[in-house]
């Protein structure tokens, strides 16, 4: 890599790292959805049947997608209900079980705010989905779409940085072998730096220091 190209590559990687930072993820994904969840009005009493429960879920998902998703989307009622069922079936962890049926039973629970609990967890599921979508978009937009010569330069820079963390792992690898894995290298580097930062902020330090 020429000395002329290196500042450009570093600026690119700095921008991607900024967009994948916890602060940016919170600002872009968490906060809009949390605000939408807070403004949603749900029934005060537990739903009496699955039809009312499903309509409430659909209204909730539709509200989040219309006010907080990127890009904002207007879902048809049937689409919103289907999305809610899919998300709960795949990710809901209830008081005693998981999945959509567990969410329905929790929402009907009379001894705690069941519906509020279910919608709160559905909101967090949507946050997790938004974060994954954001990360995929950033990596595709900034790294995966680069022309091959520029991707080689990015791979070379990332490999040099990674050797500081793990000098042996890429010892016999050349940039052409890693050019299609720039996103993986950068994400691994960010994760490694985050773990070190958390260790230091927690006051754990390092043995011998």
Segment 151-203, tens digit of pLDDT: 999 999 988 887 766 666 666 788 888 889 889 889 888 887 765 445 335 54
**Residue 119 and residue 63 in one domain:** yes
Residues 82 and 168 in one domain: no
Quick one: 41 and 119 in the same domain? yes
C-alpha 123/C-alpha 36 separation (Å) is 9
Instruction: Say whether both 18 and 35 belong to one domain.
Output: no
Long-range contacts of 149-153 (CB under 8 A, 24+ apart): 150/9, 151/179, 151/180, 151/182, 152/176, 152/179, 153/1, 153/5, 153/9
Domain boundary among 128, 146, 181: 128
pTM of the model: 0.84
Residue 133 lies in a domain: no
Answer yes or no: is 203 within a domain: no
- If asked whether residues 112 and 57 sit together in one domain, one would say yes
Overall average pLDDT of the 10-15 stretch? 94
**Residue that finishes a domain, picked among 128, 150, 184:** 128
Does 89 share its domain with 178?
no
Residue 178: inside a domain, yes or no?
yes
The whole-chain average pLDDT of the chain stands at: 86
| Tally of domains within the chain | 2
Instruction: Write the DSSP assignment of 120-184 as a string of letters.
Output: HHHHHHHHHHHHHHHHHHHHIIIIITS-HHHHHHHHHHHHHHHHHH-TTTTTT--HHHHGGGHHH
In a domain, 204, yes or no: no
Judgement on whether residues 41 and 122 belong to the same structural domain of the protein: yes
Q: Do residues 105 and 157 both lie within one domain?
A: no
Query: Which residue in 70, 72, 73 sits closest to 24, CA to CA?
Result: 70
CA distances from 29 to 10, 34, 55, 128 (A): 26, 9, 25, 8
Tell me: the pLDDT tens digits for 92-122?
Answer: 998 789 999 999 999 888 667 788 899 999 9
The domain in which residue 16 lies consists of 6-23+138-198
Same domain? For 110 and 63 the reply is yes
Q: Is residue 205 part of a domain?
A: no
């Amino acid at each position: 890599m020429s000395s002329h190209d290196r500042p450009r590559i570093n600026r690119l990687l700095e921008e991607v790292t900024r967009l994948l930072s916890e602060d940016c993820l919170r600002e872009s994904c968490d906060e809009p959805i949390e605000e939408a969840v807070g403004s949603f009005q749900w029934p005060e009493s537990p739903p009496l049947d699955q039809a009312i429960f499903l309509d409430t879920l659909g209204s909730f998902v539709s509200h989040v997608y219309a006010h907080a998703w990127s890009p904002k989307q207007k879902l048809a009622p049937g689409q919103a209900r289907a999305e809610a069922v899919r998300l709960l079936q795949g990710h809901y962890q209830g008081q005693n079980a998981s999945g959509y049926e567990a969410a329905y039973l929790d929402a009907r629970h009379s001894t705690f705010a069941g519906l509020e609990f279910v919608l709160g967890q559905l909101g967090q599921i949507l946050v997790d989905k938004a974060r994954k979508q954001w990360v995929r978009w950033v990596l595709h937009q900034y790294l995966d779409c680069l022309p091959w010569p520029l991707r080689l330069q990015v791979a070379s820079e990332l490999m040099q940085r990674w050797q500081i963390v793990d000098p042996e792992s890429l010892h016999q690898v050349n940039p052409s072998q890693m050019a299609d894995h720039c996103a993986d290298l950068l994400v691994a580097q960010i994760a490694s730096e985050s773990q070190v930062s958390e260790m230091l902020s927690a006051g754990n330090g390092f043995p011998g220091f």
